[in-house]
Amino acid sequence: MSRLRTNKPGYFGKGSVETAPAAAEGEGPTRRCTLSVDKLVTQPFEGVDTVYDIILYAARTHGTRNALGWRDILSIVEEEKEVKKLVDGVEVTEVKKWKYFQLSDYKYINFVEVKEAVSEIARGLIELGVTTHDVFNVYAQTSPNWQLMAHACASMSTTIATAYDTLGEAGLTHSLNEPECIGLFTNTELLPTLRNVLAHTPTVKYIIYDGEAKPALLDNIRTIREDIKVYSVDEIRQLGKTKPMEPLEARRPTKDTMACIMYTSGSTGNPKGVSITHANLVASVGAVYTLLGHHLTYEDSYLAYLPLAHVLEYIVEMIMLFVGMPSGYGRVKTLTDASVRNCKGDIRAFRPSIMVGVPAVWETIRKGIISNVNGGGIVKKTVFNGAFVAKKANVPGLAQLADSVVFSSVRAATGGRLRVALSGGAAVSRETQEFLSVALVTLLQGYGMTESCGMCAILPPELMRYDSVGVPVPSIEIKFLDVPDAGYFSSNHPPQGEVCIRGPSVTKGYYKRPDLNEDETIFTKDGWLRTGDVGQWNPDGTLSLIDRLKNLIKLQTGEYIALERLESTYKSCNLVNNICVHASSDAKQPLAIIIPHEQHLRQTLQQNGNKWIADSEADLDVLCKNHKVQELILRECNAMGKKGGFKAMELLQAVILTPDEWTPESGLVTAAQKIQRARIAKKFDYQIKHVYKHQ
């Protein structure tokens, strides 16, 4: 499978070209992908105008081929493990219980069955009384039922609002109240959280769930308010089966119908709801089909596990439905063999050929491979490193040998069929992209935002290079605005500036936020959306992202540093699990708050030259407070920075180590795993002030 060749050399020509000169001083010319020079893409084919048309097209074209796959939980296996930790300086042993899933093989429904299920649910919702003026929330884990509920609403012109399944009670309350949701779909596991907010969400009348719910919990929910009705998704389907088609046919959407209010993950304040129409989504599907359609074949399969409340996963799964590629659903907790019992993990069970992930996923995979190699002894490590060098340099004969003998075992861990992977959501470090492209799979980058239906630019395999997010997707055009304070000008060589986007897949505004929609620092009068990202045009017509305006910090020296760019590189250090780079205007250099990668840190401390630093068996909290460990991690991070060409002012002056994971529940990362910079700075305020006091 990994040998399937779908590249079209020369297909993209110059990548992107200028289609209009600069309209005013302080900005650059407009550029488009070479595939959409004369006209931006608005749809994949004539007659596909709405999301519902995609379901009709898929059923008509792909028929009884497998569409959506899932695994049932057969049992939960509990295991006890002894864990040593220090309490008041005394080592104690605790017994902890760990839960593992035993899962079935993959089961599937085909494209015709998807269409039938969507129709049944839609007719059931109409029978309940859900109207075209209502908003229906989807607060659930990524699964086939998430898709079926969303498409049912789309088919009957009812707007959905999305909510991450990791949302706390405050976030869930906001996502139900702002759009005045009449109901929602959720999972059994999330019903307790929902129960706690229902008293504060007065418009919610209908709750639809999947899974096996305890009758006592359902009864408890029904007693919160008299008008609350609770149904399983199977009950709604049975109800809909018996109802006529005519009321549903009268409710079909148009391209201008609001399909979705997709809430951003909210790194500052309450999340904003992005208003997305059917036309926006269809244009995005058409753009990707135009750009990458020749790479998406019937022989491929896609592993779906990212949150569907995130626009990247939402639009990718819609594209897979359109092209007829089977999507197999997995869970983050069961992706690998290590997290299941008596069965394979989702990746090896499904054996995908295409995967999409955020940088944290690819960092985890890279560090997992390295940890496995380091744990295999000096011979295995030497052979792997030699094979890596040979393949990277494309040494004749040796490169092919390295690929078939050494890296085949790495590929086997992901099912052995993986041939294309895409990273999106944030910048992935060059170190990680290069490592995985050599050892595992060609890792491409993309760039998008909720406001653009997830797609602004994608790097096609034909234009593979590092440090680039690709060419503008064919439904979007891009221009730069100058950023004089930071020295970014469209007249620079290469051209640089704030990225502005315009086109049929770009939203016209935020839900119930006229203050933002009328703000010309976001939406300009001539129809451009200012992204806040700083880009650079490369000679091959591709786009690179080099900064983020809100994360540009002016140091004591008067020079600017870009925090996100620094984090992307420092995060590729094997000793780093997560990182927040911090700087203030009175600082000479940045510092970093770091959660160490525990396994790699312990392996490093066990090496002969490092045994004097600290006891590798010590509690992680103790290691984090050890000054020699802090110096070790600082040294390794700065080595990565120097390797990445950082200037002296971009190197770290200190690190603050913490053993505690950052979670959406703690408020230190968003539901999409983006760091909450201000909250992290507040939590570690004392340590930060101590560092700067002694700089």
- Nearest residue to 136 (alpha-carbon basis) of 145, 127, 125: 125
Q: Which 3 state secondary structure label does DSSP give 575?
A: coil
CA distance 549 to 571: 20
Q: Which residue has the tokens 């951003």?
A: 264
Specify if 455 maps to a domain. no
Mean pLDDT, the chain, integer: 91
Going by pLDDT thresholds of 50, 70 and 90, the confidence category of residue 553 is confident
Paired with 675 in beta bridges are 669
Q: 536: part of which helix (H) or strand (E)?
A: strand 529-537
Residue 218, pLDDT above cutoff 60: yes
CA distance 585 to 425: 28
Residue 34, pLDDT above cutoff 80: yes
Q: 247: part of which helix (H) or strand (E)?
A: helix 246-249
Specify if 180 maps to a domain. yes
Q: What is the DSSP letter of 610?
A: G
Residue 462's alpha-carbon distances to 9, 90, 397, 601, in angstroms, are: 6, 59, 23, 38
Number of H helices, E strands in the chain: 23, 29
CA distance 608 to 626: 19
Specify if 445 maps to a domain. no
pLDDT in tens, 512-546: 999 999 999 999 999 999 999 999 999 999 999 98
Specify if 349 maps to a domain. no
Helices (H), 135-187: 144-155, 169-177
Mean pLDDT, range 217-237, rounded to an integer: 96
CATH code assigned at 636: 3.30.300.30
Specify if 70 maps to a domain. no
Give the up-direction half-sphere exposure of residue 460: CA atoms within 13 A in the CB hemisphere: 32
Going by pLDDT thresholds of 50, 70 and 90, the confidence category of residue 379 is confident
Q: Phi and psi (nearest 5°) for 557? A: -80, -10
The interaxial angle of helices 144-155 and 51-62, nearest 10 deg, is 120
CATH code assigned at 199: 3.40.50.980
pLDDT in tens, 586-633: 888 999 999 999 989 998 898 867 777 888 888 899 999 999 999 999
User: 12: buried, middle or exposed (CB in 10 Å: 19+, 13-18, 0-12)?
Assistant: buried
Residue 266, pLDDT above cutoff 60: no
Q: 622: part of which helix (H) or strand (E)?
A: helix 620-625
CA dihedral (598, 599, 600, 602) positive or negative: positive
Give the highest mean pLDDT range of 70-84, 197-211, 434-448, 643-657. Answer: 197-211
Determine how β-strand 258-263 pairs with β-strand 159-163.
parallel
Determine how β-strand 496-502 pairs with β-strand 66-70.
unpaired
Count of domains observed in the chain: 2
CA distance 689 to 695: 10
- Nearest residue to 470 (alpha-carbon basis) of 424, 438, 514: 424
Residue 247, number of CB atoms within 10 A of its CB = 13
Q: Taking the mean position of all CA atoms in its chain, how far away is CA 485?
A: 31
Mean pLDDT, range 339-348, rounded to an integer: 92
Locate 413 and state its tokens: 């861990």
Going by pLDDT thresholds of 50, 70 and 90, the confidence category of residue 99 is confident
Specify if 664 maps to a domain. yes
CA distance 264 to 162: 9
pLDDT in tens, 391-417: 888 877 777 777 777 788 888 888 899
CA distance 9 to 17: 18
Locate 543 and state its tokens: 């786009």
Q: Can you give the residue range of the structural domain that contains 117? A: 51-65+107-253+301-321
Q: Which 3 state secondary structure label does DSSP give 288?
A: helix
Going by pLDDT thresholds of 50, 70 and 90, the confidence category of residue 255 is very high
CA distance 599 to 367: 9
Specify if 670 maps to a domain. yes
Angle at alpha carbon of residue 275, lines to 43 and 329, rounded to 5° = 70
The set of residues, in sequence order, having a beta carbon less than 8 Å from that of 601 and lying 6+ positions away, is 575, 620, 623, 629, 633
The set of residues, in sequence order, having a beta carbon less than 8 Å from that of 454 and lying 6+ positions away, is 284, 311, 312, 314, 315, 316, 424, 448
Specify if 488 maps to a domain. no
Residue 589's alpha-carbon distances to 217, 259, 553, 560, 586, in angstroms, are: 54, 46, 10, 10, 9
Note the pLDDT of residue 268.
Answer: 54
Instruction: Look at residues 321, 351, 374 and tell me which one is the last residue of a structural domain.
Output: 321
